[in-house]
Amino acid sequence: MITPDDLVALVRNYNPTCDEALIRRAWDYGARMHDGQTRYSGEPYFTHPVAVASILTEMRLDDATIVTALLHDAIEDTRSTHTEIARMFSPEIAELVDGVTKLTNLQLSSSEAKQAENFRKLLIAMSRDLRVILVKLADRLHNMRTIRSMRPDKQAQKARETMDIFAPLAGRMGMQWMREELEDLAFRVLNPEARNSILRRFITLQRESGDVIARITADIRLELEKAGLDCTVYGRAKKPYSVWRKMQEKDLAFSRLSDIYGFRLIVDDVAQCYQVLGLIHQRWRAVPGRFKDYISQPKSNGYRSIHTTVSGRDGKRVEVQIRTREMHEVAEAGVAAHWAYKDGARTANPFAVDPAKWIATLTERLDSSEDHDEFLEHVKLEMYSDQVFCFTPKGDVIQLPRGATPLDFAYAIHTRIGHATVSAKVDGLRVPLWTRLRNGQSVEIITAEGQRPQASWIELVHTGRAKAAIRRSLREEDRERFVRLGRELTRVAFENLGRRVSDKALDTAARKMGLKGPQDLLARVGSAELSARGVVEQLYPELVAVQTEEIDAARPVVGLEPGQTFRRANCCQPVPGERIVGITYRGKGVVAHAIDCAVLAGLEDQPDRWIDLRWHEGRHPAIHTVALELTISNSTGVLGRVCTLIGEQKANISDLRFLDRKPDYFRIFLEVDVRDAEHLYRILTMLNAENDVAQVIRLRDPTRQP
């Protein structure tokens, strides 16, 4: 453990006018409060607060933040109180320590509902004073560096929490070095075999090709020296987790990966940034689509730099980042640069953002989310985002996260425009709505009156705002569809008992079931939350006989004469609960057609062949085959989910064939065995509710033999 003198020396390196007495007093107080406590490793507990303070000195933070680090566990783990810290140090430090304590008590890996509420609290704490989260991030970094002393299950929990929350939050705050180290430490716990494999491959690569970084660095310096430019050049191999993530995203083997090396070129002013860029592109071939100018379009956290990827020595791709020294300070410290000290004074860095404004951009629109899942999805997307800047036809700039599509662009302008989008033009060319936008592109949204969001749009958009707006619209549209479906189901259920459904009957049933009214009742029946039979039972319990045995599959209808055979028509495939009529066929007996079957129009002049039939009331066996045509997205696991949904409804798939295969979708033919109309409608409802199912059609073909 470093001594008080060592810590003071670290602070005085960047802030010679620091309050040395305050830091020493906090050290003594913290050591006294934690006396006798130990960590999992057996070390004195106070070594941890000291290590956290040491990490924060690397960011050149103010005295209050350093003291907060020394005391950050005092209120939670000792007899220390908020009042005592305020009296001995300052109200500001007491508030910071209290903020860190509250963050520590948040269970960020708990249930979805609890996690969403705790995320809200985290954002509120950040909005009050961002230094609270800086201390918490340093606390998490030291805990991850020493995680090996914890139980394996606790290691896995902390590593997942770090990967999901703290690492992306550090990246969103512009502290890329901390994000990379947190990811790598978590990766070491969650997938040690993969990490070790990548490290071994790096060693093999270096043995086979020598020190590539040193050679490329020398090449770059030579070009810059020829131009008379004073430039600092840093080169490094990318972190194992960064390499692993790229292998997973692009489904590539390590040997096929490019740009696993990165180089930073630091110059004196902005003009030299572009001069160096020109020299790099003259000497090496630029890789198309891999250029980003964050100097002219900075990220919201203050990050500025030029990124380009070139084919370097031996054809190896390398990423090059070019920035000024002031930009580099912000790139290293991120939002923390706002509090950074240099030579005893707060750094007047023109690129350091105001934390209050940054927090406002992060939390904007998050409170509009209506449910926990939406909020979590939105905030995590915002934390993970890298920015792209696109232009409207009028030249206005729209800021979006990397991976955004024209639909995201439309919803960023206005929800009404997003809902009405039918297509888009990017740089004057019409493109699909799933196109990923790039920096500097001009986007024109084409709308149409009457257009409504589709369920498949959820998978096309990237921003939380667009996803939330689409889901709200789909919920409203689904309710209308469920009401229509529920009305048909209840009509069938009432008519099976010889009754007619009426608004008064539905209103009475709704009141008895404690629902808001007939519309609410019908929506619940249509969405399969309630059964139509249950609604009838509320009004006519004496007429609803509980069937202990299934209807005889050989005689499922009423109206046949003795000896007459019966079967369902192949052309319309009617099921129990639907209105039917019987048609006699020579040698085939009686064939039941749905009352709306197109075949019946050709038999109107043969009334002697028509027989009045109706289905027996009661529980029919699930043997009535219905043909369906599904259009599903060509994604992993979609067909399996479709089959599982049908199986969960206690229905059997008797046939499955692919009708069409495309890169982005499949069209499939299914035959499903159902009991009755209600059973069929419930299956159709479940399939329509699945995001990856674009369309479900019940096939009725009059050309098929009856």
What are the residue numbers of the active site? 76-77
Q: Which helix (H) or strand (E) holds 285?
A: strand 285-286
Cβ count near 19 (within 10 Å):
17
Is 310:253 a contact under the CB 8 Å cutoff? no
Is 391:398 a contact under the CB 8 Å cutoff? yes
Structure tokens at 165: 């929350």
Q: Cα separation of 612 and 451, whole Å?
A: 44
Q: Cα separation of 303 and 332, whole Å?
A: 9
Q: Cα separation of 427 and 443, whole Å?
A: 6
Output the CA torsion sign for 328, 333, 338, 339: negative
Amino acid at 604: E
Structure tokens at 26: 């906090």
Structure tokens at 406: 């024209």
DSSP result, 238-254: PPHHHHHHHHHHHT--G
SS3 of residue 460 by DSSP: helix
E strand map for 612-675: 614-615, 624-633, 652-661, 665-674
Q: Cα separation of 448 and 502, whole Å?
A: 38
Q: Cα separation of 52 and 631, whole Å?
A: 55
DSSP 546: P
SS3 of residue 569 by DSSP: coil
Which residues is 397 bridged to in the sheet?
A: 391
| Burial of 29 from C-beta contacts in 10 A (0-12 / 13-18 / 19+) | buried
Cβ count near 662 (within 10 Å):
9
Q: Which helix (H) or strand (E) holds 693?
A: strand 693-698
Amino acid at 146: T
Q: Which long-range contacts (CB under 8 A, 24 or more apart) does 303-309 make?
A: 303/174, 303/330, 303/331, 303/334, 304/330, 304/331, 304/351, 305/331, 306/273, 306/274, 306/277, 308/277, 308/280, 308/281, 309/259
